[in-house]
Amino acid sequence: MGEKKTIDISLKIIYIIVLLLLALIFSIIYLIFNNSNNVKKTNTNSGEKYVSNNNYSNTNNNQPVEDNEINELENWKTSYNGEEYYIINHDYSGEYDLGIIEVNNEINNDFDKKEVMSYEQYEEYCNKYGLNKKYKDKAKNYIVFSYRFDYVGEISARLGGVEFPRVDTVNLYIWDQHKMLTDKKRRAYYIIIPTDKNVGKVNVFPAYTKEQYTALTRRVVDYEDDIDIAVPTLKPIIYFYPEKETKINVKLGYPNKIMVSYPNYKSEGWDVIAYPNGNLKYIENGRNLYSLYYESDSVYDFKVEKDGFIVKRDEIEKFLEEKLEILGLNEKESEEFIIYWLPKLQEHEYNYIRFATMDEINKNMPIDFSVTPDTLIRVLMTYKGLDTPIEVKEQKLNKVYRKGFVIVEWGGTEIR
């Protein structure tokens, strides 16, 4: 009897241990599954990169935005030529939701938002674009900023600050970054901030990392002093249309000003074989391309001149089609130009637009070809967003005709 009782006790102990182990295993599985639903973070040189359709939610103090308005903006604000610039020191500590998604080609500019939504509008927006609807409070309003990039390989975004300068106005200070690759993907990010305030106007100001300022100015600076800001020249891409298969070397005049390039620009320049149909072969690795791409710091001081064009938001598309044709771009080149710049220009009610002269473009970035083209077209659009129109003399553009071996480059820069 004593042995049987001992066996029964041992079995009970084993049974209890098994139950505890099972409970421990289920707890571990739950924790792993729960963590997998949180956003993954990976460090980059200039901040954090938020990836996938998951969301980043800042809940450090779990306070609604109106109870925790940013009060440190003055500490990371600098000025240049009378304008204010913001260097991001840390992420906003109030409640918000930030996500980065890959979008399909059916999503158009309607995705891009800069407005305050009711709960019903917020819910409809999330459902329409497949966003993770984090918030459930129907009594709150939701500040929404979202932006779509075309043909990018990677994007990153951070919310640096939120402030309410007036009862009906909110200012957002946002840092973002994208890398242009050839995978032809469309990616977007969105920021959603719950609020009890009845805000009517949303202003968005770009924020910069200290590393970006160092890269732009190519020097170590004291960020509490005025900074000589170099505005980058964005998205110059170069097409080649030789009359016969041609081996050609391309050298940029200021390689130290290049911020990003594809293929990677080297001291000896790019060596490619150009074909009459516009295709390229990169000699170093035999990769097939259709253009060369780079972005660089601006050397030339682009500013609002006495001449140019004032273009309303709803007239930008037609304006660009007409002017790019005059400047010599074909329909394919014009389409790529418009696809890239249209979302940026449509952020503003009006835009001052001016096309840089060939002399200005050459001063900003000289370029040398080992084989001289018969026709060289370099288009660089400068622009400044406006709330109201200003008076300028209409810029005179001369019609460009293509003949023989043609090389085309287009890009642009924002005047700040």
**Assigned domain for 165 exists:** yes
For the cut 70, the answer to whether the pLDDT of residue 119 exceeds it is yes
Q: 338 with 317: CB under 8 angstroms? A: yes
**Assigned domain for 20 exists:** no
What residue has token string 């009845």? 198
**Assigned domain for 35 exists:** no
Same domain, 191 and 236: no
d(CA 190, CA 97): 8
* Contacts with 69 (C-beta within 8 Å, 6 or more apart), sequence order: 94, 162, 163, 164
Same domain, 143 and 167: yes
Take residue 167 and report the two structure tokens written for it.
Answer: 């009862």
Planar angle of CA 89, 261, 183, nearest 5 degrees: 95
Peptide bond preceding 255 in cis form (omega within 30 of 0): no
Q: HSE-up of 139 (CA within 13 Å, CB side)? A: 2
For the cut 50, the answer to whether the pLDDT of residue 98 exceeds it is yes
**Assigned domain for 42 exists:** no
Same domain, 142 and 210: yes
Neighbours of 294 (CB within 10 A): 26
Q: What is the pLDDT of residues 197-251, one digit of tens each?
A: 988 889 888 887 766 654 444 433 333 333 334 456 567 899 999 999 999 999 9
The residue that leads in pLDDT, 185 or 5, is 185
Of 183, 217, 251, which marks where a domain is finished?
Answer: 217
**Assigned domain for 122 exists:** yes
pLDDT band for position 35 (50/70/90)? very low
For the cut 60, the answer to whether the pLDDT of residue 155 exceeds it is yes
Same domain, 293 and 198: no
pLDDT in the model for residue 19: 73
Of 189, 217, 245, which marks where a domain is finished?
Answer: 217
Same domain, 91 and 167: yes
pLDDT in the model for residue 208: 76
Q: What is the mean pLDDT of residues 341-359?
A: 94
* Secondary structure (3-state) at 123: helix
pLDDT band for position 398 (50/70/90)? very high
Question: 0.85 exceeded by the pTM?
Answer: no
Query: In this prediction, what percent of the chain has a pLDDT beyond 70?
Result: 72
Q: What is the pLDDT of residues 355-392, one digit of tens each?
A: 999 999 999 999 999 999 999 999 999 999 999 999 99
Same domain, 162 and 67: yes
For the cut 60, the answer to whether the pLDDT of residue 318 exceeds it is yes
**Assigned domain for 184 exists:** yes
Same domain, 58 and 194: yes
Take residue 294 and report the two structure tokens written for it.
Answer: 């780079």
Candidate from 14-28, 57-71, 400-414 with smallest mean pLDDT? 57-71
pLDDT band for position 40 (50/70/90)? very low
Q: How far is CA 384 from CA 5, 107, 308, 309, in A?
A: 89, 26, 11, 11
pLDDT band for position 317 (50/70/90)? very high
**Assigned domain for 253 exists:** yes
Element holding 27 (H helix, E strand): helix 2-36
pLDDT in the model for residue 349: 94
Of 217, 243, 261, which marks where a domain is finished?
Answer: 217
Candidate from 210-214, 318-322, 332-336 with smallest mean pLDDT? 210-214
Same domain, 122 and 268: no
* Secondary structure (3-state) at 396: coil
Planar angle of CA 46, 52, 58, nearest 5 degrees: 65
d(CA 133, CA 122): 8
In this structure, is the dihedral angle defined by the CA atoms of residues 47, 56, 102 and 340, taken in order, positive or negative? negative
For the cut 50, the answer to whether the pLDDT of residue 329 exceeds it is yes
* Secondary structure (3-state) at 65: helix
Find the domain containing 93 and state its range: 47-217
Total tally of structural domains belonging to the chain = 2
Same domain, 149 and 290: no
For the cut 90, the answer to whether the pLDDT of residue 285 exceeds it is yes
Same domain, 193 and 310: no
Same domain, 137 and 202: yes
Same domain, 268 and 360: yes
**Assigned domain for 5 exists:** no
